[in-house]
Amino acid sequence: MSTTAAVLTSLATAVAVAALLMTATAVVARRQGRVVVVDIAWGLGFVLIALACAVVAVASGSGDALRSGILVVLVTVWGLRLAEHVRRRSTGHTDEDPRYEKVLGGRLPDVGLAVAVRKVFAVQGLALAVVAAPVAVGVVLDVRWWPVVVAGGVVWAVGLVFEAVGDAQLAAYRAQPRDQRPQVLDTGLWAWTRHPNYFGDACVWWGLWLAGGLASGWVVGLATLVAPVAMTYFLSEATGARLLERTMMERPGYPAYARRTARFFPRPPRGGHRARS
């Protein structure tokens, strides 16, 4: 199989996996009456795409085996950690996520599955395929610059630390009795950015773009640049930080916290912290 054919096959595989996964997730969502289950499928989707595209690479005899293995491991570690974190967080909850209620204009049973498919599942399926492009392409191409692969691994690691530590600090905060904890979490990474988990997520995909896209050459890097840009946009402006803060701004202490703390990109906080309830 030629290089071009391998790349096209791998990209088509990513699209097919994303479509099948979102179809299955929509069925589960209909049974549960809420679309928030798509958050678990999100991380798993990238793992499935990476594995499926790696199979394409092996079958076509294309790509660099070491770089392909690195990409699959990085995506799998990130995706499984995220999926498990979301699963634990949602265990015992039956309510819809307020973010998705705003997107849908109501709860799933009220608006219907067709609306959910159009506004959530189709969008997230497309986003899965687009964001996964550097990995889908990287596993079937040869490496041009190994130092860029290494740099991508470093950026990925920074992102994973922000995401995992941020999630752990938030879980510890929520575990405290409501009458004993501060109004908002403004210590640790949360003193530097109001969304360390989202920022870390963005870094992970910039790292994967470096390792899978740019490390394959300038042309491939530019062609796949849309992936980390799209992920950063979703996390910061679309379905991530900005949408979540529409609800958070209604909570006591949060507006003051927002004035002194960066929304997305980390920076030292302005002035003191610790708004007590």
Alpha-carbon distance of 277 to 123, in angstroms, equals 39
Indicate if the pLDDT at residue 256 is higher than 90. no
pLDDT score at 104? 79
Under 8 Å between Cβ of 31 and 153:
no
Residue range 155-205, pLDDT digits in tens: 999 999 999 999 999 989 988 888 788 888 888 999 999 899 999 999 999
pLDDT score at 126? 93
Indicate if the pLDDT at residue 275 is higher than 50. no
Backbone angles phi, psi at 213, to 5 degrees: -95, -70
Sequence-ordered alpha helix ranges (H) in the chain: 3-32, 38-60, 65-90, 98-104, 108-111, 113-116, 122-131, 133-138, 146-175, 196-212, 218-223, 226-236, 241-248, 254-260
pLDDT score at 102? 77
Rounded percentage of the chain residues whose pLDDT exceeds 70: 95
pTM of the model: 0.87
Alpha-carbon distance of 78 to 134, in angstroms, equals 15
Residue range 226-239, pLDDT digits in tens: 999 999 988 887 76
Backbone angles phi, psi at 178, to 5 degrees: -55, -35
Q: What is the mean pLDDT of the chain?
A: 88
Buried b (16+ CB within 10 A) or exposed e, 171-202: eebeeeeeeeebbbbbeebbbbbbbbbbbbbb
Residue range 93-125, pLDDT digits in tens: 667 777 777 777 888 888 888 888 888 899 899
pLDDT score at 39? 87
CB-side neighbour CA atoms (13 Å) of 224: 28
Tokens at 54, concatenated: 């790696």
Give the mean model confidence (pLDDT) for residues 84-91.
81
pLDDT score at 139? 94
Buried b (16+ CB within 10 A) or exposed e, 47-83: bbbbebbbebbeebebbbeebbebbbebbbebbeebb
